[in-house]
Amino acid sequence: MSTQNSGSDLAYLSATEARRLFETRELSPVELMRAVIDRAEQTEPVVNAFTERLFDEALAQARHAEDRFLGKGGLAPRPLEGIPVATKEKHAIAGRSLTEGSLVNTGVTATENAPVIDRVLEAGGIIHARTATPEFSIATFTHSRLWGVTRNPWNPNLTPGGSSGGAGASLAAGSTLLATASDIGGSTRIPAAFTGTVGFKAPYGRIPGAAPLSADHYRGDGPMARTVDDCLAFANVLAGPDPRDHVSLRPKLVLPTEFAPVSGMRIALCLRLGAYDVHPEIEANTRAVARTLTDAGAVVEEIELPWTKDDLLMSLAAHFASLFGALVSEIEAQHRDLMTAYTAAFADTMAIARERVTYLDGLRTETRLQRELSEAMTPFDALVCPTTAVPGLPAGDDLLGRLVVNGEDHGEPLWAAMTAPFNINNRCPVLNVPSGHSTWGLPTGVQIVGHTYDDATVFRVGKALERLRPWTYTPDHRPSARQPGPSGRTAAPL
């Protein structure tokens, strides 16, 4: 097995193309893994996406994968055979650290694999690295006292987003082909938007999770990739019931790999979701996506939702204060001195919320918001809207005050991402795909929102957009991952 491609080109292969080259023996899994490791060694000093490198073990597993493709030992290649996969550190691997980015958990070791880890390994994926998150995965950025600052390869002065920031950064940097993610308020879609990658928030129960937050109907684990086909193939590996998660859906959904064109589809365009102030460049890129769909024969109609900031806050505050926030508050009560400032602030906010709203208050608002989305989407096959309201967030900033970028005030950080409404409506599948670039030096993204449990439709629209508005990481369209410099500039490439 051999290839003539450069190492950098190999590192940016799609997983589906790599698999094809493995099958035809034009590429060895060992060659691919070496290229990805070499790329990681180049970019990690700036990007800092990884919390743990498993490179030696990964190369050994790549040799075993090569044997499968060569027909040795009588074992057939599996769906992800030989593909490098970076997994979020919160996705437990038995016998390895499980800190969730917190000094509180220093020395904690996982006793069993998370369901998504088992799915990756059973499919032949090779976990060569684990990726950074903010502490307890609670933020829209990625930095912590334990791991330092993770930076966006497109502009290291800005964050790759969070909480799956290490996942998005590693995909953009070329140091992995696939990455696991999770999403409770946008933690998959925000980093996908900021890094120009594809992230899928599966509907609740589609992909099994780990207790106790597997029972939280706002959250779920999922796939990230650089292409829609890769994200789809990874979703097919991760989906399906698991006895450790009783809400995981059966039977397993297997998405098709080919879809009809979007011609004739009816798609709603919603720019502000009723409550958000959207940056002009985000709006322009979102409208460009809508025009592409119209040009392809879809009927696109602009709508507005009746959602208000007060209603969204009520639902989110009641829910987080009762579940995820309560879990963080338990830890904060004993270990506040070990926590980052943004985690302590989150715990304080949740304590106030518990005094002011009840879970029942939240359910009353939540079900109304769900009905309003359902009624608005009824005439349509899908809805398209921005993923974030601003083009980026500063790296290393706890965002405890106003959002200030390049000396400009962009409002309250809570409203920088437009993802949480679809955790409130978490039975809806949502796919983030790139929508363009901004003058801030980052890609931008749109959310494709489907009707409840209609995963296929969001991938149908996503595949069409990828074909019509290609964002492939070609040699002339890749981040340089330069050292961050003063005043928002970047220094020499690595």
pLDDT at 462: 98
pTM of the full structure = 0.96
Q: What is the residue range of 258's domain? A: 7-302+381-488
Instruction: Examine residue 345 and state whether it is found in any structural domain, yes or no.
Output: no
Instruction: Examine residue 290 and state whether it is found in any structural domain, yes or no.
Output: yes
pLDDT at 492: 30
pLDDT at 1: 57
pLDDT at 487: 45
Query: 144 an active-site residue?
Result: no
For the chain, the domain total comes to 1
Instruction: Examine residue 350 and state whether it is found in any structural domain, yes or no.
Output: no
pLDDT at 473: 86
pLDDT at 5: 62
Task: Find the catalytic residue in 187, 214, 315, 438.
Answer: 187
Task: Find the catalytic residue in 28, 102, 137, 163.
Answer: 163
Query: 88 an active-site residue?
Result: yes
Looking up residue 288, the CATH number of its domain turns out to be: 3.90.1300.10
Instruction: Examine residue 144 and state whether it is found in any structural domain, yes or no.
Output: yes
Instruction: Examine residue 272 and state whether it is found in any structural domain, yes or no.
Output: yes
Instruction: Examine residue 141 and state whether it is found in any structural domain, yes or no.
Output: yes
What is the distance of C-alpha 306 from the center of its chain?
Answer: 27
pLDDT at 486: 54
pLDDT at 490: 40
Task: Find the catalytic residue in 14, 88, 315, 322.
Answer: 88
Q: Using CA atoms, how far apart are residues 69 and 18, in angstroms rounded to an integer?
A: 12
Instruction: Examine residue 333 and state whether it is found in any structural domain, yes or no.
Output: no
Query: 8 an active-site residue?
Result: no
Q: What is the pLDDT along the chain (494 residues), one digit of tens a residue?
A: 554 466 789 999 999 999 999 999 999 999 999 999 999 999 999 999 999 999 999 999 999 999 999 999 899 999 999 999 999 999 999 999 999 999 999 999 999 999 999 999 999 999 999 999 999 999 999 999 999 999 999 999 999 999 999 999 999 999 999 999 999 999 999 999 999 999 999 999 999 999 999 999 999 999 999 999 999 999 999 999 999 999 999 999 999 999 999 999 999 999 999 999 999 999 999 999 999 999 999 999 999 999 999 999 999 999 999 999 999 999 999 999 999 999 999 999 999 999 999 999 999 999 999 999 999 999 999 999 999 999 999 999 999 999 988 788 898 999 999 999 999 999 999 999 999 999 999 999 999 999 999 999 999 999 999 999 998 788 888 998 777 765 444 433 33
pLDDT at 474: 84
Instruction: Examine residue 369 and state whether it is found in any structural domain, yes or no.
Output: no
- Maximal CA-CA distance, the chain: 64
